[in-house]
Amino acid sequence: MQKHILSLDHKTISVYPAEQADSPLLLTFLSQAESDELAASTGRHITLVSIDEPQWERAFTPWAAPAAFKKAPDFSGGADDYLTWLTNSVLPEVLQTYALQPQWYGLAGYSLGGLFAAYAAYQNTPFTRFASVSGSLWFDGWAEFITRNHLQTLPHQAYFSVGDKEKNSKNPRMAVVETHTLATQQNWQEQGVHCIFELNNGGHFEQVPQRMAKAIAYLSTNATENI
């Protein structure tokens, strides 16, 4: 497994190139330790790009909302700007540096990163496969958003999952996560997206690389096809 580190706009980006330049590219947001473990399990049939993003509350939220916990920062709704940065800066830098021509682009996120991945599908992006793994789809206004908006371009595939204990959260805002995640998967399916919903064992921050690997395995179905 080869690993390269890029620094762009004060962000640390881990790149794990696939064997072939035209292999699919999947972008995610994990710590370096988590991305190392994920890359080791996914093999070299896909180029993995992982950003160790420290400002989750800003980068991954589609609009402003109050903090979920005491002493935590409020959510400031910077997802649109962050998606523009990914599309106009990160992807071109990675493609040029490693001379890549991916068959398709995937976007997978965990927790608030999963909320961001789902939100990105409603915008004009190069991504065609999405995974929201234990995604924060409990987020204020999300349930209303998916009923009032249509996907920008139908994803080829999408994957949703939560831990089976996440609905037991003592925070009433977060306790609806399973219901909202299933509703999102069903909404996308009704729009014609090939997507699944999966319950994992456990709570929220458990087996993050393993859960992400399951998502990537699903998104990589028929990955050798020129889509």
pLDDT class for 59, splitting at 50, 70, 90?
very high
Could you tell me how many residues make up the chain? 227
Residue 46 lies in a domain: yes
Q: Is 48 helix (H, G, I), strand (E, B) or coil?
A: strand
* Residue 103 pLDDT greater than 90, yes or no: yes
Residue 146 lies in a domain: yes
Mention every residue, 6+ apart, whose C-beta is less than 8 A from residue 86.
27
Residue 227 lies in a domain: no
Q: Give the CATH number, domain containing residue 140.
A: 3.40.50.1820
Average pLDDT of span 84-107: 98
Q: How far apart are CA 136 and CA 84, in angstroms?
A: 21
Predicted structure pTM score? 0.95
User: What pLDDT was estimated at residue 212?
Assistant: 98
pLDDT class for 48, splitting at 50, 70, 90?
very high
Report how many domains make up the chain: 1
Tell me the per-residue pLDDT of 142-154, one tens digit each, with 9 for 90 and over.
999 999 999 988 9
Give me the chain's average pLDDT, please. Answer: 95
Residue 194 lies in a domain: yes
User: What pLDDT was estimated at residue 218?
Assistant: 96
- Could you tell me what percent of the chain has a pLDDT over 90? 91
Residue 226 lies in a domain: no
User: What pLDDT was estimated at residue 176?
Assistant: 97
User: What pLDDT was estimated at residue 173?
Assistant: 95
Q: Where in the chain does DSSP place strands (E)?
A: 4-8, 11-16, 25-28, 47-51, 64-65, 75-76, 105-110, 127-133, 157-163, 194-200
pLDDT class for 199, splitting at 50, 70, 90?
very high
Considering only residues 131 and 206, tell me which one the structure prediction assigns the higher pLDDT.
Answer: 131
* Residue 225 pLDDT greater than 50, yes or no: no
Q: How far apart are CA 26 and CA 46, in angstroms?
A: 7
Residue 224 lies in a domain: no
Average pLDDT of span 184-188: 98
Average pLDDT of span 1-25: 95
User: What pLDDT was estimated at residue 72?
Assistant: 87
User: What pLDDT was estimated at residue 221?
Assistant: 84
Average pLDDT of span 201-217: 95
Q: What range defines the domain where residue 10 resides?
A: 4-219
Residue 162 lies in a domain: yes
* Residue 224 pLDDT greater than 50, yes or no: no
Strand order in the sheet with 4-8: 4-8, 11-16, 47-51, 25-28, 105-110, 127-133, 157-163, 194-200
Average pLDDT of span 49-67: 97
Residue 225 lies in a domain: no
Tell me the per-residue pLDDT of 107-145, one tens digit each, with 9 for 90 and over.
999 999 999 999 999 999 999 999 999 999 999 999 999
